[in-house]
Amino acid sequence: MSSDQTKTAILTAAEMLWAERSFGEVTMRDIVAAAGVNLAAVNYHFGSKDELLADLFVSRTTVLNRERFAELKAAELEGGGRASVEAILRALVSPPLRWCLSPDQQRSAAARFMTRASVETVPPIKKIVDREFRHLQRFATALRIALPHRDEVDIYWGLHFALAMIRQTVTDSERLKKLSGGLCDLNDVDDIIRRIVSTAHDALVGGTGVPTPLPARASGARKP
C-alpha cells in the first residue's frame, strides 16, 4: 500500500471499530489488525491513539458540516437571505440522520462514530468540541434572523434540543422500537427527519418561550 492508502486504511478500520465499541475498549492492536498494517505505520501517520481519534473526528465532522452548510445556504438563497425555521432545522437534522441510517456501511459507520464521540466526550474529542462550535453559531444566527422577535435564549435552547433529538434517535433507537412494539419505523429516514423537524419547529415557533412555574412544594415536604 502507498502511504496515503495506509493512512486511509487505518482511519477506516478505526472508524468501523469505534462505531461499534467504546473508545476505551478498542486497542491499538485491534486497529492495526483490522487495517492490516503494523503499529509503526499508525505511529508514523498519527503519533498516538488520541491523535488518531482527533484526526478522524475532525475529518468526518468537516464533511458532515459541509453538507449541512450547503443545505442551509440553499434554503437562505431560496428565502431571499432569510431561510424558514423549518428549512434551517432540516439542514441541521437531515445530514447526520441520513449518514447514521444510511444503508451505505461506510457513511453509517462515520455517523455512529461521531455520535459516540459526542456522547462519550473523551479528552481528545472534548478539546475539539469545546473549541469548535462555529458551525452551530451559523445555525443560531439563521434562526435569529428567521425569528427576530424570539428571545435569544429560546433560540439556543431550541437548537440544543434539536441536536439532542438527533443523538437520542441514533443512540437509543432499539429502545424506541421495543417500546412502540415495532410501530415506530426506524428504517423510514424521511419520516424520522420530518418528526424531529416538526417537534423542534413547534417548540421554537409555537411555544410562548415562558416556562411554566413548578408547583409549590407542600409544607413539610422533604427536600431531595
Q: Angle at CA 114, nearest 5°, toward 56 and 169?
A: 170
Q: How confident is the model at residue 207 (pLDDT cuts 50, 70, 90)?
A: low
Rg value, the chain, Cα: 21
CB 165 within 8 A of CB 203: no
- What's the sign of the alpha-carbon dihedral 115, 116, 119, 122? negative
Predicted confidence at residue 143, as pLDDT, reads 97
Q: Is the model more confident about 219 or about 181? A: 181
* Residue 94 host element (H or E): helix 85-100
Predicted confidence at residue 220, as pLDDT, reads 54
Give tens-digit pLDDT for 92-139: 999 988 887 776 666 678 877 877 877 777 777 777 777 767 889 999
Residues 148-157: contacts with CB under 8 Å, at least 24 apart: 150/204, 150/209, 151/209, 154/204, 154/207, 154/209, 155/204
Give the number of other CB atoms < 10 A from CB of residue 119.
13
- Lookup: cell for 161: 434540543
Fold of 1-47: Arc Repressor Mutant, subunit A (1.10.10)
Nearest Cα to 104, choosing from 36, 178, 16?
16
Rounded percentage of the chain residues whose pLDDT exceeds 70: 88
Q: How confident is the model at residue 170 (pLDDT cuts 50, 70, 90)?
A: confident
Q: Is the model more confident about 96 or about 214? A: 96
Residues 170, 194: Cα–Cα separation, whole Å: 15
Q: Does pLDDT of 152 surpass 60?
A: yes
- Lookup: cell for 63: 464533511
Q: Where in the chain is the domain with CATH 1.10.10.60?
A: 1-47
Give tens-digit pLDDT for 141-151: 999 999 999 99
pTM to 2 decimal places: 0.80
Torsion of CA 194, 196, 198, 204, to 10 degrees: -150
Predicted confidence at residue 217, as pLDDT, reads 62
Fold of 49-206: Tetracycline Repressor; domain 2 (1.10.357)
Predicted confidence at residue 216, as pLDDT, reads 65
Residues 20, 14: Cα–Cα separation, whole Å: 10
Q: Does pLDDT of 224 surpass 60?
A: no
Q: Does pLDDT of 218 surpass 60?
A: no
What value does the mean pLDDT of the chain take?
A: 87
Give the number of other CB atoms < 10 A from CB of residue 179.
11
